[in-house]
Chains A and B, each alone.
Chain A
Amino acid sequence: MTDMTQPVLSVRDLRVEFATRRGVLTALDGVSFEINRGEVLGVVGESGAGKSVTGSAVIGLIDPPGRIAGGEIRLAGERIDNLPPEAMRKVRGKRIGMIFQDPLTSLNPLYRVGRQIEETIRTHTDLSAKAARQRAIDLLAEVGIPAPERRIDGFPHEFSGGMRQRVVIALALAAEPELIIADEPTTALDVSVQAQIITLLKRLGRDHGTAVMLITHDMGVIAEAADRVAVMYAGRVAEIGPVAAVVGDPLHPYAKGLMGAIPSLSHEADRLAQIPGAMPRLSAIPPGCAFNPRCPKVFARCTVDRPEPLTVGSHRVACHLYDASGQAAA
């Protein structure tokens, strides 16, 4: 049913608003990106840049008072942002799997992990109880849990943090989804375990041809795992492109600052480069380019016109420094 050539996920001009007592806040404004089969898209940015909101919007879990106010989300060509709740529920878990930040709190403490996996499988397939249990054991084995036929009857608290995140990944994979959204999957884990989880995610994405949206604020994770990367700032995509290009040669001044902040083992910088100032609150986004108050290369146009995304080489970047021809304008 799925056309192999079209992207698994395509987001166009997504706009998400939160109605608060002090007026409407725009959390996402004109966000566009695509993820192809078997591809890992890293989404980076500071806290509050809109990374998690983007993930929630795709899986249809934006809680009131938030709402999708514009744009469209297509899963394998099919629009899903306007599906009725029951139809969207069937997409969740079956066609889009999700992994949250904290494996300690993602699992219901009162149920055995097997029950939680089986219930997900049986919600989305018509496997028998026995077959579902076998599949749950297979899944646990696949995510690298030793002795799965015994561990399946354990309670979440009997697993370590890393093992629990593996269970969470098994849950996200339960119904063979086309897309996995991983929201800060390694942030709450020990450093030694982080690499294992990232490797696992990458391998599973490749083996199953699953597209992965990897949300993180950790540039190291992106460099390690992502094929392409989207840099978000104040609810907008500042720059998007292949990971080597964006990390190695960032175009957007914000992306440049962000890459400068990666600690590197090879050349010992005395201190990390810092971007002066802080990201504006959603209630106080400046006119024009949202980054203009902190930008080292700001000029008159930046405070008036909002930059539209332009294709520059393999990048797409929203900055007035680059004109349509791909040359630096100033």
Chain B
Amino acid sequence: MASPAPALSAAAPPSRLARFLDSDLFANFKRSKLAMAAFAATVLFVALALLAPVISPQNPYDPAQLELMNASLPPIWYADGQAPFLIGTDDQGRDVLSAVFYGMRLSLLVGVLGVLLSGFIGIGLGLIAGYAGGWVDTIIMRVADVQLTFPAILIALIVDGVAKAVAGGHMEADAQIALIVVAIGLSFWVQYARTVRGSVMVEKNKDYVQAGRLIGLSAPVILTRHILPNVTGPVFVIATINLALAIITEATLSFLGTGLPETMPSLGTLIRTGNRFLFSGEWWIVAFPGLALAGLVLAINLLGDWLRDALNPKLQ
């Protein structure tokens, strides 16, 4: 592979970007067409979600912008389709395209926050379990074992139900979002904990960790400075695959009617509402959010699969 101009690299150490561009991972990436397509699609989805307020013709969360006159319009290529509603409107006169952009924004937001939270919980518990050992380890891993036998969606539903029961049944939209993030966080931590715990068990007896202990480094310092960097690869793979799962979980909760409210619809909520119009022929209300969700999840999944395979030799 062609390396950057030697004069340049002699003058200054290569930047992070230059080092990445020269890495095996990137070379592998350039070889896999599917991975590149998945990456491009993911970037596109994220860009659309981020730019939703700029590019959407309408703010679907603002009731003042909805006109019942525009209700249930078909996509623009039908005879009675109307500009600017490219892919039609729903029964409230909401532009489906805008709703999809905003919905994607919410789905991604909840997914990313959920993954971050579950990663935080899982890595934390994994580090503690692996480093402390003994009964702390036993308790954490037992809980993990029991939880692993139940599907994440069931746990998320129960967390959701219990929180609602405690709150007395009614919740604001923002609180709903936070609740779903927590539900996802509590449902997906086990895999991180297991992986991290395994690495800690291996690393903690190695010389450099023992040396760190001898020169008086505290446990948190050893854990974060020396052990954590060794598990970034596997954790990153789990996080990517879990992002797809988290998005599916949020969509499913919303579809089941316990997720995000109709006033602030995510993709799952849009599909839930659109599903009612399937039989009356207004297919576009459900089809486009469904397509967006499927595309988003598929792209992230493909990326995760590739990442797992590409990093695999280094994992062992």
Please determine if A and B sit in direct contact within the complex, based on CB atoms under 8 angstroms apart.
no
Binding site for B on A (CB under 8 A): none
Binding site for A on B (CB under 8 A): none
